[in-house]
Amino acid sequence: MIFKDRVALITGGGRGIGRAIALKLAAKGADIVIADLTPDAAGQTAKEIELLGRRVLALKVDVGCADDTQKMVEDAVDAFGGLHILVNNAGITRDRLLLRMSEEEWDSVLTVNLKGAFNCTRAAVRHMSRERYGRIVNIASIVGLTGNPGQANYSASKAGLIGFTKTVAREFAARGITCNAVAPGFIDTAMTQAMPERARNALTSHIPMARLGTPEDVAEGVAFLASDAASYITGHVLSINGGMFM
Ligand SMILES: NC(=O)c1ccc[n+]([C@@H]2O[C@H](COP(=O)([O-])OP(=O)(O)OC[C@H]3O[C@@H](n4cnc5c(N)ncnc54)[C@H](O)[C@@H]3O)[C@@H](O)[C@H]2O)c1
């Protein structure tokens, strides 16, 4: 129960990787706030967390909206008396080759994936700074390190998130707040299930471990970075990719 008496907020915690992170932190003792654009999904994960015996709050939040994220942090602190862990996980893709990519496709991905993390982090660190304690984990991506055809918007957002992570780490290190990123490779969720079978098989052939990752593989890395065992680690990018990129 390494997260006993800790409160963790996970954006996009309704399904996929965010759901797995929420369940992992709850299983290790944390009370959980699920902030998701889709209330049904958030409510479903919340039910699973209740079964683990933890307190849980499910909120409908658009991370791209600063007012939503401000209220989200206020609601979390009001409900549970604190906020110790923030996981910026909400993310979307709008894949298209650059020459055909619309301004809307660029803006929507940057708004959710990058501005969303900015909004949530700015709201949370105000509270964490006062408490002189915080753990922030940003869910970046392998393609933020390597680039990927068809993902100019997504890879730019994830590379931006890595730069953001390092700056937050530097700005808040003296206040007991760490900020790290994980960079998952290809993980078996709705996001990658949307890919054609042929593309998934081609991708798998580039993974030394010869399988896609699971949401739990990512959740384990997040739990470590959010724990006190990682208290001297900040500004780090942890690859969780089966050896696909080293
Ligand atoms: N699946 C992968 O292979 C993979 C690889 C690397 C990184 N990632 C990253 O991991 C994170 C989770 O991915 P996933 O595969 O679980 O995705 P997913 O699509 O299964 O889940 C994303 C969740 O985010 C929520 N969401 C979307 N827009 C939102 C918004 N504006 N405000 C609040 N919530 C919002 C969705 O409702 C959904 O519950 C994303 O940041 C993604 O970029 C995924």
Q: For residue 45, what pLDDT is reported?
A: 98
Active-site annotation holds for 154: yes
3-state secondary structure of 119: helix
Tokens representing residue 78 in the block = 């009001």
Instruction: Give the DSSP H/E element, type plus range, for residue 162.
Output: helix 152-172
Q: For residue 47, what pLDDT is reported?
A: 98
Average pLDDT over residues 70-78: 98
pLDDT tens by residue, 158-168: 999 999 999 99
Domain-located, residue 203: no
Domain-located, residue 2: no
- Cα 174 vs. chain centroid, distance in angstroms? 23
Ligand 1 pocket member 92 (CB < 6 A):
yes
Residue whose tokens read 């006993």: 4
Q: For residue 194, what pLDDT is reported?
A: 85
Cα angle for residues 233, 9, 137 (degrees, 5° grid): 25
Summary mean pLDDT of the chain: 97
Domain-located, residue 61: yes
User: What is the rounded distance in angstroms from the CA atom of residue 233 to the CA atom of residue 215?
Assistant: 23
Nearest CA to ligand 1 atom 36: 12
Please name the amino acid found at residue 136: I
Q: For residue 6, what pLDDT is reported?
A: 98
Residue 244 C-alpha to ligand 1 middle, in angstroms?
A: 20
Domain-located, residue 14: yes
Question: Of the listed 3, 118, 133, 154, which one is catalytic?
Answer: 154
User: Residue 60 forms beta bridges with which residues?
Assistant: 36
Residue 166 C-alpha to ligand 1 middle, in angstroms?
A: 21
Domain-located, residue 208: no
Q: In the chain, what are the helix, strand and coil shares in percent, each to the nearest 5? A: 50, 15, 30
Residue whose tokens read 């996980």: 89
Q: What ligand 1 atom has the least distance to the C-alpha of 15? A: 39
Nearest CA to ligand 1 atom 40: 91
Domain-located, residue 129: yes
Residue 184 banded pLDDT, cuts 50, 70, 90: very high
Neighbouring C-beta atoms of residue 242, cutoff 10 Å = 21
pLDDT tens by residue, 17-60: 999 999 999 999 999 999 999 999 999 999 999 999 999 999 99
On whether the pTM is more than 0.85, the answer is yes
Q: What ligand 1 atom has the least distance to the C-alpha of 154? A: 43
Ligand 1 pocket member 242 (CB < 6 A):
no
Question: Can you give the residue range of the structural domain that contains 153?
Answer: 7-188+215-239
In terms of Cβ atoms closer than 10 Å to its own Cβ (0-12, 13-18, 19+), residue 132 is: exposed
How many structural domains is the chain composed of?
A: 1
Tokens representing residue 228 in the block = 């006190």
Domain-located, residue 114: yes
Distances (CA, A) of 225 to 50, 93, 109, 110, 147: 24, 25, 25, 25, 25
Domain-located, residue 204: no
Q: Which of 23, 33, 89, 165 to mutate to test the pocket of ligand 1 (most atoms within 8 A of CB)?
A: 89
User: What is the rounded distance in angstroms from the CA atom of residue 27 to the CA atom of residue 31?
Assistant: 10
User: What is the rounded distance in angstroms from the CA atom of residue 37 to the CA atom of residue 173?
Assistant: 31
Q: What ligand 1 atom has the least distance to the C-alpha of 88? A: 41
User: What is the rounded distance in angstroms from the CA atom of residue 157 to the CA atom of residue 168?
Assistant: 16
80-106: buried (b, 16+ CB within 10 Å) or exposed (e) per residue? beebbbbbbbbbbbbbeeeeebeeebb
pLDDT tens by residue, 121-144: 999 999 999 999 999 999 999 999
Q: For residue 191, what pLDDT is reported?
A: 84
User: What is the rounded distance in angstroms from the CA atom of residue 170 to the CA atom of residue 152?
Assistant: 27
Q: For residue 38, what pLDDT is reported?
A: 97
Average pLDDT over residues 98-103: 98
Phi-psi map region of 233: left, alpha, beta (phi>0 left; psi -120 to 50 alpha) = beta
Q: For residue 199, what pLDDT is reported?
A: 86
Closest CA to 10 of 105, 100, 127, 138: 138
pLDDT above 90 for 221: yes
Domain of 123, CATH number, reads 3.40.50.720
- Cα 235 vs. chain centroid, distance in angstroms? 15
- What is the percentage of the chain residues whose pLDDT exceeds 70? 100
pLDDT above 90 for 216: yes
